[in-house]
Structure 1
Amino acid sequence: MNIVDNAKSLRRICFTCVRGVGKSSVLKELNTEDLNVCFTTGSDILQEMMGDAYSLFEYLPEYRKYAYRLKIREKLQSLQEQTRKDLLVDSHITVYNLKTGGTDVIFTHLDYEFYTDIILLDSYPERILDHRQRDTKKKRVTDMDIIQKELEFERCKAAEISDKYGIKLHMIQMGEGATKELDKILKVI
């Protein structure tokens, strides 16, 4: 039996929004001592699996990207089995594809069954643009029209996935109170 069967009371939470919204910043501000939650990021797991080839992930064929995403999901399940805690994954539902210029849904067929909650950190395009322009360590799209489309697509897909698969959707507006809201949601979950 897998973790879903054995530990129905444990939650698996996808903490999501478009790249550059500030998810990592919100998580750094969170006081995790009184939370029974294991925190991880999908990109850290992918980087560990791929090593130096990680920077080339965007340019892999879609079937290879999907295979890596399935492996990430397996590692997440294993992590929760080991920790026996709720799991919060800093991840994405969708990503802008640099190769095609479109936005892709990156949830796999296994993710729909795995996650119990989605926490969408919402923002507005100008704030995301500002954040992306200040973060020079990462190459990110800074076209306002594309950012707006990414944001709308992420919102729509989060709502659609929540409705279709019975995954609880929580929305937090990025800003000064975002960390406090996340803390409150995690304590209720």
Structure 2
Amino acid sequence: MKSYPDDRKYVRNNIIGGVITCVVTCILGFMLLPAPMPRLETVSMRILYCLRWQIWSVLTLTAGIFVVANKRFFTSAIDPIEGRGEHLIEVHKRYIQNTMEQLVLHVASSALLASFLSPESMMIIPIRVFLFVFGRVTFWYGYMKSPIKRAFGFQVTFAPSVVSLLYCAFCFCNSGPAFALYET
């Protein structure tokens, strides 16, 4: 298999750019967003708040399914068994697959994170949802331009989930599974 050092450099730079974008977005989000947070006194209120924000994340998957359905209906890709026209929807099918995978990580890590956060820290949930949607859009756009250009969007989607899961694992190990469950 041939090695492509220039491609790896491009991907590495986009991964770094994605991480920087996530950090800057989180900092600016906490500093600049004037949106008042509702009083989220209990863990269940914080998880419900988090789940309601996921509508925007789920719509990224819905958009991909809609595009594939439209392309199938209006092109020769209408019959997936016959295989004609599959090249017309290949990138979109891959986008749907990756978005499904990322969506599972995103929703699970968001809900877990909401269970460990204080009410004052819940501003991170809408920021994470913004990053997820932005990441999915840039991933899809980059993928349509060239598969090598999907790294930035992937990283903007993936990094917040990984960081959130690591934080939740730390909280779990540090304080146990009952951390903050009984607050009023």
Fold-level similarity (TM above 0.5) = no
Question: Normalising by the residue count of structure 2, what TM-score does the alignment of the two structures yield?
Answer: 0.26
Question: Which of the pair is proportionally richer in strand?
Answer: 1
Question: Normalising by the residue count of structure 1, what TM-score does the alignment of the two structures yield?
Answer: 0.26
Question: Which of the pair is proportionally richer in helix?
Answer: 2
Larger radius of gyration: 2
